[in-house]
Structure 1
Amino acid sequence: MARSLNIFLFFLCLEIITPTLNANILESKEFWKEEQPEFDSYWQGRAVEAKQFNEAAYFPDPFAVSGNFTASITEIIAGKGARRNLRGNKGGGQCLATNPIDRCWRCDPNWADNRQKLADCVQGFGRNTRGGKGGPIYVVTDPSDDDLMNPKPGTLRHAVTRNGPLWIIFARNMLITLQQELIMNSDKTIDGRGVDVFIANGAGITIQFVKNIIIHGIKVYDIEVREGGTIRDSETHYGFRTRSDGDGISIFGSSNIWIDHVSMRNCTDGLIDAIMGSTAITISNGHFTDHNEVMLFGASPDHKMDKIMQITLAFNHFGKRLVQRMPRARFGFVHCVNNDYTHWEMYAIGGSQNPTLISEGNRFIGPENKMVGKDLINSKEVTKREYTEESEWKSWQWRSINDEFLNGAYFIQSGPELKDRPFSRKDMITAKPGSYVGRLTRFAGNLRCNVGKPC
């Protein structure tokens, strides 16, 4: 999570920051020591404005939001005609949209002429995200990233730093190597449908103190730490940025964010991190492989602003060569629904500082036991409460609802049962949902969409 030099004194005035023992750079004492700049009125103003947007995006009853999402899945996989719904649309060309987010747009053969319809399809905590809807289409024609202060028109950096809503698409297949972090302005959609867009071998994407961001249909991999410098973040402002930390997608103090159908692997730090009061986020239909610390939600036990954090993880495939943190949460409310956890080496879902974690209709396939020297390593437990005694975490609300556990995987629940909540018989998936996860996540990751045909 690269930060501007100029924002951290503002946060340090609000709260004392202390380190934890985890390896993520955001959790290290050295990282925060480096980010102690002179006070800057621009970033102070951005932080205050973002805090207001984030608080407005917070749902007072998160159980109702997650319960409604469950009901929408029920309509597809547990209602009448379920098998027909799972197969897709007959007669209109091949359409294998197997979950409610995809069914909103993928069966339309004219999706390329009506790209902004995608903004109506988000569900979960990010359901009010509109991205660049209502703004003009911006076509990226140039994959270069040579001028960070005055980006060349036609480049992705020029597009994301414009003021006002924009729906950003790509003229052709592109490999974009970012020289420094790509700092996005509010009300933007990055839409990679119809071409192959790779963000690779350079810096990652930074979503900082903004709102209404959609990132869809791109591949992000081999993201590196970059040393920082003077970088433009809007039409009217540029400033000095410190060293980036190597996240694929960094969400910092932002709200109404939707990340859908991305394929991600091998970033220096996290694949997707969300911190500093970020909320109203949906991460869906992603395919994640080849990484250690996959997702960090909340960077420090002293950042109590993350109590408003609300994140939906839905229909994602956590695949080969992943180690841990799918996600790891501090504070907040995370709803993990119908994800496929086929690989992990340490654990799948973890946290501290009393986050609410609702795991619903996921499939967990436990890893094989391993011999390390003379020791047998068993990592089949899905959950990990970090740095907390059982006497404390036993009251945390970590619940497993209709999950499917294979190869010895198991989930240690805690907290009271979900009685008197919207997770009622009406809202629950009546068929055992774990058995449907393979179909619901069948098309996770970047899609190959052809113009004029259902995607």
Structure 2
Amino acid sequence: MDEICLIKFVLFALLISTFSLSFVDARFTSSSIRSGPTRRNLGNPSCGTGNSIDDCWRCDSNWHKNRKRLADCAIGFGRNATGGRDGQFYVVTDPTDDDAVNPKSGTLRHAVIQTEPLWIIFKNDMVITLTQELIMNSHKTIDGRGANIHISNGACFTIQYITNIIIHGIHIHGCKPTGNAMVRSSPSHYGLRGIADGDGISIFGSSHIWIDHNSISNCADGLIDAVIESTAITISNNHFTKHDVVMLLGHSDSYVKDKVMQVTVAYNHFGEGLVQRMPWIRHGTLHVVNNDYTHWEKYAIGGSEGPTIYSQGNRYLASTNYPYAKEVTMRMTSKENWKNWNWRSEGDLFLNGAFFTTSGSGAGSSYTKAYNLAAKPSSLVANMTAGAGALRCRPGQQC
């Protein structure tokens, strides 16, 4: 009897062990495709992930002594954005924004309107509530590393008819419409501004722009909009959440000059509470590479007026909460009109019924060469985007 009991006990123990291992494996597999903070906190590797931007600088524990190295790490269409690399450092010490015409020295507004190149950093953690649009001048880097910087609950960034801008490491949220006010755009000029839409970052008639490692959410209009012949733009490593119309590229269906627009969207995490436009593009050319899409309520990527879209090595996870939103793509015209539009998918991973409707006959290999960026396998997307958003960087440690 004792031997029989012992055998039963051993068999029962083996059964429990096997069940436990299966449960752990299943839990790990599901967590690898979840959206939100749980998925993003799994290890959060900093470098060596295949993310070519992060691998360029995040392995360096002395990043704070080599801040300008960041400018050598851009990829894609915005790869030549140097920002304020060739200028002096400007340290923001004052979070106030009391006067949009005569900003105080030491404020962010005073820094961005200067004519010379500047690499702008922050003395300590700050919450900055802008009274009016932050109208930037050319050749500026806003570098939030080493501090917890929030632009919130007021106006936000305007990049208008300028060049060479880098915005890195900022929390941007709660942006509101402002305007009908005087605003300074340089030391020698200020003027009356109309009503701004309340975008997180508005890019207007500008070029060589790189938007990297920001956390952007919940603005009155778009999180990032680029219009009026803006081009040579890279939007990378950002964490987008809690918004309807996320990103618009192109002014209007009738503004055909936006055919010059070239935008790279890479290594971003499109996360919780997003609805559509990730992005939407009119007329121009879009390379969407190695992003993690873990939430959309209507569609992820859309366009009108014959844009070229190359989706490469992304992970698209359709939500179980929106069973009629499985399609990644959306076009605002008849199939007869869009069947020749060049929309390609190469190496993408589609989960939970997600699918991408292709069109046209463009060759993927020629795209990769022209776009100067080859995708990594979609199986690496979780690691490559684990650090998307504003980073918690501290001097003397890897970010």
TM-score tier by shorter-chain length is: 0.7 to 0.9
CA RMSD in angstroms comes to: 1.8
Q: Is 2:114 the counterpart of 1:170?
A: no
The answer for the alignment partner of 2:84 in structure 1 is 132
Distance 1:194 1:430 in 2: 30
Q: 2:203 aligns with which of 241, 245, 251?
A: 251
After superposing on structure 2, the runs of 4+ consecutive aligned residues of structure 1 that deviate more than 3 Å are 94-97, 427-431
Q: Deviations over 1:382-420 (max 9, x none)?
A: 00001x110110000000000000000000000004167
Q: Which amino acid aligns with 2:395?
A: V
The answer for the alignment partner of 1:411 in structure 2 is 356
Q: Which amino acid aligns with 1:405?
A: F
The answer for the alignment partner of 2:138 in structure 1 is 186
Distance 1:359 1:295 in 2: 16
Q: Is 2:47 the counterpart of 1:96?
A: yes
Q: 1:378 aligns with which of 324, 327, 338?
A: 324
Aligned residue pairs, count: 354
Q: Is 2:218 the counterpart of 1:274?
A: no
Distance 2:364 2:392 in 1: 43
Q: 1:155 aligns with which of 97, 100, 107?
A: 107
In structure 2, relative to structure 1, the CA distance for the partners of 1:97 and 1:448 (3 Å cut) is farther
Q: Deviations over 1:120-170 (max 9, x none)?
A: 110100011000011000000000000111100000000000111000000
In structure 2, relative to structure 1, the CA distance for the partners of 1:452 and 1:306 (3 Å cut) is same
Shift of 1:216: 0.2
In structure 2, relative to structure 1, the CA distance for the partners of 1:243 and 1:408 (3 Å cut) is same
- SS at the partner of 2:397? coil
Shift of 1:423: 4.3
Asked if the contact 1:312–1:336 (Cα under 8 Å) also holds between the matched residues in 2, the reply is: yes
The answer for the alignment partner of 2:8 in structure 1 is none
The answer for the alignment partner of 2:14 in structure 1 is none
Q: 2:391 aligns with which of 443, 447, 452?
A: 447
The answer for the alignment partner of 1:69 in structure 2 is none
Q: How does 1:29-428 map to 2 (within 5 A)?
A: 95-98=46-49, 99-368=51-320, 370=322, 378-386=324-332, 388-418=333-363, 421=366, 423=368
Shift of 1:227: 3.2
Asked if the contact 2:344–2:364 (Cα under 8 Å) also holds between the matched residues in 1, the reply is: no
- SS at the partner of 1:102? helix
In structure 2, relative to structure 1, the CA distance for the partners of 1:384 and 1:422 (3 Å cut) is closer
- SS at the partner of 1:227? coil
Shift of 1:368: 2.0
Asked if the contact 1:110–1:452 (Cα under 8 Å) also holds between the matched residues in 2, the reply is: yes
Shift of 1:444: 0.3
- SS at the partner of 1:104? helix
Shift of 1:422: 5.3
Shift of 1:228: 3.0
Q: Which amino acid aligns with 2:168?
A: H
TM-score (norm: length of structure 1): 0.75
- SS at the partner of 2:159? strand
* Higher alpha-carbon Rg: 2
- SS at the partner of 1:223? coil
Asked if the contact 1:263–1:287 (Cα under 8 Å) also holds between the matched residues in 2, the reply is: yes
Shift of 1:96: 3.3
Q: Which amino acid aligns with 1:383?
A: T
Aligned residues with identical type, % of pairs: 57
Asked if the contact 1:369–1:379 (Cα under 8 Å) also holds between the matched residues in 2, the reply is: no
TM-score (norm: length of structure 2): 0.86
The answer for the alignment partner of 1:15 in structure 2 is none
